[in-house]
A and B are shown apart, each in its own frame.
Chain A
Amino acid sequence: MEAPILSIAVFAPLAGALLLLLVRADDRRTLRAVATAFMAVPVVAVAWGAAQFRFGDPGLQLVERATWMPGIGVSYFLGADGISLAMLALSAVVGLVATIASYGIDTRVKEYFVLLLLLQTGVLGVFAAEDLILFYLFWELVLIPMYFIIGIWGHGRKEYSAIKFILYTMVASLLMLVGILALYFLTGAKTFAIPELVGLGRTLAAGLQWWLFLAFFIGFAVKVPVWPFHTWLPDAHVDAPTPGSVMLAAVLLKLGAYGLLRIPLPAFPQAAHAFAGTLALLGVINIIYGALAALSQRDLKKLVAYSSVNHMGFVLIGLAAATPAAVDGAVFQMVSHGLISAMLFLMVGVFYDRFHTRDMERFSGMYTVMPLAATFMAFAAFANLGLPFLSGFIAEFYTLIGSWTVFPQYVTAAALGLLLTAGFNLWMMQRVLMGPVRAEQRGTPEMHAREIVTLVPLAAFVLLLGVAPGLLTAWLNAPVQALVQRMGGM
């Protein structure tokens, strides 16, 4: 029997969380070590899985399947294609980085790491689950730890933001649950296995498809987030502690986009097709509105938060266009934005820890004060505005060139939005990094080794994927091709 690689990846953090319960609450060193070790397991497991993966094969691999609740057709069913594997790899790496970035947490350390590890199990589970009930359970599992992480370890109006986050996303996942049950009952399926259900969804009448599509779409749209369902995001991202913001932006937003391309888009192709124009328009709104909102901020972290709204717009356009290149570009953007937004939030944390402010008017001359930190910040900002040879450019270039034949008007608008994207990044750099040094900020300590350790791998991946994007597209091409066929082949 083959090793259950995905189960190992998904449940190692949970095992770590259980083990943490046995550690004394004031033994921070051990708590950190255990958490880090168990967060490293998924990285190794995913790498192991990738090593034996057949990337030319669009089907599910690393499959583990066992009956669980046979009466209603629920099974323990994990599997991955190249897209899921890419998301698993992203989550594993970012989760480990977030753990290391959490060493600075000094209140209720034990509870914190337990929750962070639980969160990681939820996230990885969503990307590996191939049974809708399992998917839904992992999906809900993500919400609760994040709620506490924001509410307990956050800043500012943290309770407000945490409640807003959980209510908003709960309402959305409820809609998704309605969709799941309806899909199950209406198709008369004997199983909750995603591949089968997706195959049956297309047999439904067009009107029904439309309603089901809508339920799933809104369920996932809140997470992406799609305008106008995004307003939980700036509050949650800003008030969460740095590692929480990293997980939110880099991974949790991807859950929504991943859900879209896994369920409603292939399951209800007619509805998806009818909705494509609206979806692309929403993508354009995300891009332009997100960039303008970012441009209006004085709060550095809010600027970075709205930048996520901006970048997820490209994912929407790519998914809407549904050409192989566009969808490839959209998934590439999911990975790329995960890496870049993680860098940006980590840098905001680096500055916040030292200056206890996020008000850009109170920063100046960071190039002089903290040259290394400023260089990382500039690297992330240029990656964020789509500089070539960095991952964001590849993602946006391919999304747009792939969508051109379908939506030239929206591609043009999105491209013009790139000017605004450049605008808020450049203006941020001008205010924070350039200019004269403020007397009270002189002599601020430079980034320390642990902070550097969290940023270097992210920067390395951003550069690597920008120079050799083929490393990632080789994972994506086959499953994307299959997905596009399913979306187009009514």
Chain B
Amino acid sequence: MQRAADDGLEVNLALSRGRGDDRFSLDVSFQVPPGITILFGPSGTGKSTTLQAIAGLLRPDRGRIAFGGETWFDADRHLERPTRLRGIAYLFQSLALFPHMTAIGNVCYGIARSVAREERRARAAALLEKLGVAHLAGRRPRTYSGGEAQRVALARALAMEPRVLLLDEPFSALDRDLRAQLSADVRALVSERKLPTLQVTHHMGEARAMGDRVLRMAAGRIVESGTTAILDGHD
């Protein structure tokens, strides 16, 4: 079930959107090796946009995105690999759990269709169990608490055996204790799978607790990168 991580993710992208005062431009270049890389900065700096571009949910104007030897996007060569073939697990800020499916249904959704149905369900059940939410298996998302929903979304993201994990402010809606608990769980899961992980946050404590590396962003640019020590003085 585990997949050894390939090389990291290479990101080099630029885009601009809007006009006049609403104009927003993004120009970033960085790498995401196995482990957790934090994309840190205030709201509106382009962190989520960067994540969406990596996932192929929006198209950059220029640049290149590659994973290992595989090119996902290359503006010069007009190459664009569809989102569904990139092997990215994306944890959305809103979680985006399918409201009409049970936890098992949600988690099974990303497991390859070539896997037999019973096997898919068994894998999903095992992941829910591992994340401590096995009791939600047959229940739909509107009955979950905030923390439970996070765990089901995390199980769904991991069930597809991703090559890269993208987390968009994953714990923003949680209280402090739950945040600490889930942060520790995610760290353990990422290190166990050696997954290149890019996590967006504007929460200093979360960045410090989770990050192996930090990319500090401001106004669509990476202004500083290094260990979590670079966050000192930005409280």
Do chains A and B interact in one complex? no
Which B positions have Cβ atoms within 8 angstroms of A? none
